[in-house]
Amino acid sequence: MALGLLMGLLLFVGMAQAEPRAEVFGGYQYTHLDPSTNANGWNAALTGNFNQWLGVTADFSGAYESGFKFHTYTFGPVVSAHLPIAKPFVHALFGGATASGGGTSFTGFDMMLGGGLDVGHGPLAWRLVQADWMITRFSGFTDKKNTRVSTGIVLRF
């Protein structure tokens, strides 16, 4: 019972804090593309918050490995909870992806389902982790075993 009261108090305190209208994220990402591509790169996102728990995110990334390039550009809703020093979130992002290498290039649909945890209070936070499951569709071929993990800095305005 005491644990339940403590959790309720933490949620209440977190909800009482003013939500920034915008957040900018930038950082490192590791991407695994099925069956065997492991690439490193960057991840950037801009989130506009409608209220304390709902916003919309535009997410862009690039991953590179031995002449292979994989870029994503996705958009979608994000739902978050506000604790005193942490902000867990989940999102569903939809858009496109471009894969290129060896003189060929493919562009198709990309969907990311995932979430993460931002740590810190105030205008600067650290995205401890963001993990996404990616479904990518190129020319009739659908790949469902892709993952992306990111970490970096969040600026809040």
105 forms beta bridges with: 100
Q: Which CATH number covers residue 92?
A: 2.40.160.20
Element holding 89 (H helix, E strand) = strand 86-101
Query: Can you tell me the distance from the alpha carbon of 7 to that of 59, in angstroms, rounded to the nearest whole number?
Result: 31
Closest CA to 128 of 156, 152, 99: 152
List pLDDT tens digits, range 5-41. Answer: 445 544 444 444 567 899 999 999 999 998 889 999 9
- Over the stretch 31-74, which tens digit does the pLDDT of each residue have? 999 888 999 999 999 999 999 999 999 999 999 999 999 999 99
What is residue 141's predicted lDDT score, i.e. its pLDDT? 82
Q: Which residues contact 122 (CB under 8 A, 6 or more apart)?
A: 156
H helical segments located in the chain? 2-16
Per-residue pLDDT tens digits for 95-131: 999 999 999 999 999 999 999 999 998 999 999 999 9
- Amino acid (one-letter) located at 72: T
Coil/strand/helix, residue 6? helix
Quote the number of domains for the chain.
1
What's the domain range around 151?
2-156
